[in-house]
Structure 1
Amino acid sequence: MRTLVLLVVAAASTVRANSSPLVNVSVYSEALCPDCDRLTEGEMNEAVEKIGEIFSLHFVPWGNALLNPDGSFNCQHGEIECAMNTLEACVLKYYPSRSMWWPFIVCLEAHGYSQTWEIAQKCAEKQNMTWTEVKNCAEGPMGKLLELMYYEETASLNPPHQYTPWVLVNNKHIKETHIIKKICAAYQGANKPKACMHTQQFPPINGCYKEPVE
């Protein structure tokens, strides 16, 4: 019995010794931005699927939007971008598990400029989300409050973001290429996923710059 206890303790100690903090990845994004869509559908989705166990993902749906003096928002791709940004913020609030909100965002942004409330509803229902809950949030004061929070976070970036998608790995901005390789390099664990050794090449991301705003 004593031998078994010692083995369990030794195994636990080994797990603690081999464990390592997750890499912190943040993506500052906006709906309807082609380069954001490309990153979401492409390399970032590949990262979530293949090396998701070694990093946390923080998603900020504000991008290059502006806060007007009257408290309204002015978005780079018009009112539908503002609506979809806010909807994504509400999904993040009500479904904080990445296994829920990330597939929704991939589904929505796969439609590019064709994103609509109807498509968003289909994406939400595909994830077994309560559509009325997130829609009411997006159209009400809670949605605006959430977007103001993301505005403040985006505005506080240092150095300021120049375009979207703007990606941070452990709080440092990286170019939006070879993201999987860079996450793997930042991970200090002893056993890295096999995908770290065989990374797929994705087209470069040019980014949606802050100007012009329609």
Structure 2
Amino acid sequence: MVKLVVFVMVVAVAKSLGNKCDVPPEFWCGSEKVARHCQVTEQCHRFYEPNADKVRFALYYESMCPGCRDFFRTQLTKTFTALKDIMDLTLVPYGNAWEKKDASGRWNFTCQHGEDECVGNLIETCAIHLLKNISIYFPFISCIEHDEFGTPQFSAKKCAKQQGIDLQPIMDCSTSSLGNSLLHQMALKTEALNPPHEYVPWVTLNGVHTEDIQKKAEGDLTALVCDTYKGSSKPAACNKKTGLHHSRRKL
């Protein structure tokens, strides 16, 4: 019913402007090419785009995992940079860690790649919480994940300087009870996955994980997000073909 009303509105506006396109009206908003040919691009965008939800994509990872870093480098950073207008991205830095509460009520975390990884998870979790805006914290976290040779503390210092971010509040958070509680929330999000994660990086698309989605995300995340998005107007990156790549998973 909604689509019918929108279609009628597009046709009405176009005809009021004297549009006499040789393509039947029902096809006008079917593609960018036809919309341009019939001179109704603006009308199609105006009436159709507000009804398109962003593609929800979540990455469950850990800060020093080689496969996770590979996914940032080869897929996530370029895709989110190009498609952030149609992509709702969630980062969950916890992965294959585990936690245990001590007598004081504080959570003790053990991470797959050692203590530095726990520190990295805490830094990135605090950055997400304190910086709030993904346009600010994503480049910072992406920069850390691109740096394969430094400790998380060293990478964070370097990346904060590059991004113009005040690092001290983030580092203070990472050693505080707040940071401890925030990472526990990341643990709960990870443990709530259905099906449970079996490796990292682990992804969900609009809340769903399948091996097919995982494979497509690792091979060409841009194409996956573009194909999933239902809006009539897609970013220019959706018209470009990218090469396939498979990230290294770490069980």
Query: How high is the TM-score relative to the length of structure 2?
Result: 0.75
1:91 aligns with 2:133: no
How far apart are the structure 1 equivalents of 2:101 and 2:174? 21
1:167 Cα deviation (Å)?
1.0
Q: Does 2:89 align with 1:57? A: yes
Moved more, 11-20 or 115-124: 11-20
Alignment of 1:14-163 (within 5 A): 15-19=46-50, 20-70=52-102, 71-163=107-199
Map of 1:182 onto structure 2: 224
SS in 2 for 1:53: coil
RMSD over aligned CA atoms reads: 1.9
Instruction: Give the Å deviation of 1:14.
Output: 5.6
Of 99-108 and 83-92, deviating more is 99-108
Q: Name the CA shift for 1:16/1:93 in 2 (closer, same or farther; >3 Å).
A: farther
Assess if the C-alpha contact under 8 Å between 2:61 and 2:92 holds in 1: yes
Structure 2 residue runs of 5 or longer lacking an equivalent are: 1-15, 18-41
Structure 1 residues not aligned, in runs of 5+: 1-5, 210-214
CA distance in 2, matches of 1:30, 1:199: 29
User: Given the superposition, is the C-alpha separation of residues 118 and 21 from structure 1 closer, same or farther in structure 2, using an over 3 Å criterion?
Assistant: same
What secondary structure is seen at the aligned counterpart in 2 of 1:146? Answer: helix
Q: How far apart are residue 17 of structure 1 and its match?
A: 2.6
Q: Kindly, what percent of the aligned residue pairs are identical?
A: 30
Tell me the TM-score normalized by structure 1. 0.87
List 4+ stretches of structure 1 deviating above 4 A.
11-14
- Quote how far apart the aligned CAs of 1:177 are: 2.2
Amino acid at match of 1:186: T
Equivalent position amino acid for 1:139 in 2: T
Partner of residue 166, structure 1: 202
Q: 1:197: Cα distance to partner? A: 2.6
Amino acid at match of 1:131: L
Q: Is the 2:66–2:248 Cα contact (8 Å) retained in structure 1?
A: no
The match for 1:3 is: none
The separation in 2 between residues aligned to 1:13 and 1:200, in whole angstroms, is: 28
Q: Which of 224, 238, 242 in structure 2 is aligned with 1:196?
A: 238
Instruction: Note if contact 1:87-1:135 (Cα within 8 Å) is conserved in structure 2.
Output: yes
Distance change >3 Å, CA 12–CA 137, structure 1 → 2: farther
Q: Distance in 2 between matches of 1:115 and 1:100?
A: 21
Aligned to 1:208: 250
Is the Cα–Cα contact under 8 Å of residues 45 and 233 in structure 2 kept in the other structure?
no
SS of the equivalent of 1:163 reads: coil
Q: Distance in 2 between matches of 1:13 and 1:31?
A: 43
Instruction: Say which one has the larger Rg.
Output: 2
- The answer to whether the 8 Å contact 2:54/2:229 transfers is yes
- How many residue pairs were aligned? 201
Distance 1:119 1:49 in 2: 21
**Residues 93, 124 of structure 2: 8 Å contact kept:** yes
Between the aligned partners of 2:97 and 2:81, the Cα distance in structure 1 is 29
Q: What SS does the corresponding residue of 2:157 show, helix, strand or coil?
A: helix
Deviation at 1:113, TM superposition (A): 4.9
Distance (whole Å) between structure 2 residues aligned to residue 139 and residue 16 of structure 1: 49
Higher relative contact order (CA 8 A, sep 6+): 1
Look up the match of 2:21.
none
